[in-house]
Amino acid sequence: MPAASIIITNWNGQKWLADCLESLRRQSYPDFEIILVDDGSTDGSAAWVAEHYPEVRLIRLEQHLGFAGANNVGIRAAGGRYIVTLNNDTRADPDWLRELIGGLAAPDIGMVAAQMLVWDRPDTLDSAGIKVDWAGFGWNLSAGQPANTAACRRDVFGPCAGAALYRRDMLEQIGLFDEDFYTYYEDIDLAWRAQRAGWRCLYVPTARVLHYHSATGGKASPRKIFLLSRNRWWTIAKNVDARDLWWSLVLIAGYDLASLLYQLYRQRNFAPLRARWQALAGLPKMLAKRFPAAKRVKLSLPPPF
């Protein structure tokens, strides 16, 4: 069985696949398989991959599941000891996978975060891992900063799932991506569950990929705003320690109200309101999914602004 299984989900992203898959052909670490989960595409992506990249294990989904569900299909089909998730709108450095696997230097490291760089500005960071602030907002660490400002290995909250490594043992313990999220915050939720179970995440700056941010979802579409707003509340409900939630709930709610008003002003539609309504309707289900915590993860990070 391969050491690593690289899982790429694709939804009408054929124009990105050549760059992504060619970069994987050039990897210096040889022991891996590629699984591409075509998530109900209508642009001919699956047939194109089958013709041009026969080494890729292709899974065609008739029903569109979203990022979380499609990745879970790939994870369940994977044979590797390490699960690597990679966006289709990326181009990996030749040593990217070798450096990711090299980040597993300690048995309690269950996640490894790559250095993600802006596609057309490769000296600028897109993500150096992810963090969660006191209001429950998830952020890409150091986004927009020069790449040399995040040049050292360090522990971070979790990896951006656009280029991440997860130990299979960890996933078997805490579960896969929450498919109710569809997309956005699924990696934050998974990282939070991992942290609560006692696993660490290491950021490895030498594991580099270029990334075209939000090529599939759009940078500020109503759909993206809806999913981000809903899933943030679900992530809070599932993961914030009860002792922290009571004192921080008023602050979180106040900040969310300000965010809602700003979104309504900018979006000029009801997507932000629908998001909060659906978040509220789904709270009982999310509370029932709370993962037993071996370790307390405090909301002690600084405010987002």
Per-residue pLDDT of the chain (305 residues), as tens digits, is 789 999 999 999 999 999 999 999 999 999 999 999 999 999 999 999 999 999 999 999 999 999 999 999 999 999 999 999 999 999 999 999 999 999 999 999 999 999 999 999 999 999 999 998 877 889 999 999 999 999 999 999 999 999 999 999 999 999 999 999 999 999 999 999 999 999 999 999 999 999 997 655 556 688 888 999 899 999 999 998 877 776 677 777 877 787 777 777 777 677 888 888 999 999 999 999 987 877 777 655 444 44
pLDDT of 55 reads 97
CA distance to 157, 237, 279, 285, 298, per residue, from 244 (Å): 17, 12, 20, 20, 7
Q: Residue for token digits 């993600």?
A: 116
On whether residue 107 sits in a domain, the answer given is yes
Ramachandran area for residue 227 (φ above 0: left; ψ -120 to 50: alpha; else beta) = alpha
The angle at the Cα of 133, spanning 250 to 119, to the nearest 5 degrees, equals 140
Beta bridge partners of 33: 5
DSSP the chain: --SEEEEEEESS-HHHHHHHHHHHHT-S---EEEEEEEES-SSSHHHHHHHH-TTSEEEEESS---HHHHHHHHHHH---SEEEEEESSEEE-TTHHHHHHHT--STTEEEEEEEEEETTEEEEEEESSEEE-TTS-EEETTTTSBGGGG-S-EEESB--TTEEEEEHHHHHHH-S--GGG-SSSHHHHHHHHHHHTT-EEEEEEEEEEEE-TTTTT-SS-HHHHHHHHHHHHHHHHHHS-HHHHHHHHHHHHHHHHHHHHHHHHHH-SSHHHHHHHHHHHTHHHHHHTPPPPSS-----SPP--
Cβ-based neighbours of 117, under 8 Å, separated by 6 or more: 123, 124, 125, 126, 147, 208, 209, 210, 211
Same domain? For 153 and 277 the reply is no
On whether residue 297 sits in a domain, the answer given is no
On whether residue 298 sits in a domain, the answer given is no
Same domain? For 283 and 207 the reply is no
Of 2, 30, 39, 34, nearest to 21 by C-alpha is: 34
The angle at the Cα of 136, spanning 268 to 280, to the nearest 5 degrees, equals 60
Same domain? For 242 and 269 the reply is yes
Split into its structural domains, the chain has a count of 2
pLDDT of 18 reads 97
Tokens at residue 43, please? 């642009």
Distance CA 85, CA 2 (A): 15
pLDDT of 127 reads 97
Tokens at residue 155, please? 């522990």
pLDDT of 299 reads 57
Same domain? For 133 and 237 the reply is no
Distance CA 239, CA 236 (A): 5
Q: How far is CA 128 from the centre of its chain?
A: 12
Same domain? For 33 and 59 the reply is yes
Model pTM score = 0.91
CATH of residue 193's domain is 3.90.550.10
On whether residue 113 sits in a domain, the answer given is yes
Which structural domain, as residue segments, surrounds residue 233? 222-288
pLDDT of 304 reads 45
On whether residue 191 sits in a domain, the answer given is yes
